[in-house]
Amino acid sequence: CVTDIFITIAIFFTTNLYESLGFAIIAQLLCSGMCFYWLLREIKISGFSAVMAGFMYAFCGYVLLTMPFPNLTTDVYMLPVLMLAYERLEQKKSWWLMPIAVCYVVTLNAFSLFIMTIFLGLYILFRFFQGEDRSLSHFVALIGKLALLYLVGVLMSSFFSVNNLIQMIESPRVLGENSFFDKLKNADVLFVKFEAFFVTINRFFSNDIIGVGDNYKAITYISPISSEGMNYFESPILFC
């Protein structure tokens, strides 16, 4: 089983699992801040602003809430790496970082790449319209290069990712008895309970992108003063 590189390194320095996870989380925090700093410097943000933004990114709500789950914290430092890979491809025509980043993410969790690609797609649109060359031909060529590099990265990771993908598909949360896929795919989104709309608004400020959905009761999550059914991953700003 392939795990986060920082967890793998930490295990070699201590036989205590909890200590190794602690060291790994600290390393992930530092790496997240540095990766975001390098991204901002790549797009010509001043040094002081980049340093301050790196600190704030390293200690964002998602990182603090997912500390007990280091495998989820991997997404925090790999997202700016993917964005940095795009910037280097667009500005310096340097392509090698993109397939390596994609390979690493897919090897750990293929679903994470799906989520990151959505964010990266929005980022690319914003950055493209900020650039000087906004022609359709340039955009199509850029997307074609990214698709090819993505494919190379996925193929590089296929030795590990295929097994992980099969394990994810056969997970009880996907096809098992804990899955709500069959029920939700036939639900009418226009005629849902009124309480669900409050939860939908809360999700815009959520740090739990994936969600668990176990015994989910929307009404218990719209009251931050209720002690029953509190979900601290949802709208964590209410609890700060």
Which tens digits make up the pLDDT trace of 194-222?
656 666 666 555 544 444 444 444 444 44
Whole-prediction pTM value?
A: 0.73
Structure token digits, residue 54: 């790196």
Check residue 169 and give its pLDDT. Answer: 74
Name the band, by pLDDT with cuts 50, 70 and 90, for residue 239.
very low
Check residue 147 and give its pLDDT. Answer: 95
What CA–CA distance (Å, rounded) separates 149 from 166? 23
Q: Say if CB 150 and CB 161 are below 8 A apart.
A: no
Least confident stretch, 27-36, 118-127, 194-203, 209-218: 209-218
Contacts of 81 (CB under 8 A, 6+ apart): 35, 97, 101
Is residue 34 over pLDDT 80?
Answer: yes
Q: Which of 105, 143, 152, 110 is nearest to 124 (CA)?
A: 143
Q: Say if CB 105 and CB 82 are below 8 A apart.
A: yes
What CA–CA distance (Å, rounded) separates 64 from 40? 22
Name the band, by pLDDT with cuts 50, 70 and 90, for residue 100.
very high
Query: What percentage of the chain's residues is helix, strand, coil (to nearest 5)?
Result: 70, 0, 30
**Residue 16: how many other CB atoms lie within 10 Å:** 12
Residue 227, φ and ψ in degrees, nearest 5: -90, -5
HSE of 180 in the Cβ direction (CA atoms, 13 Å)?
8
Segment 66-88 shows an average pLDDT of: 85
Check residue 193 and give its pLDDT. Answer: 60
* DSSP assignment letter at 220: G
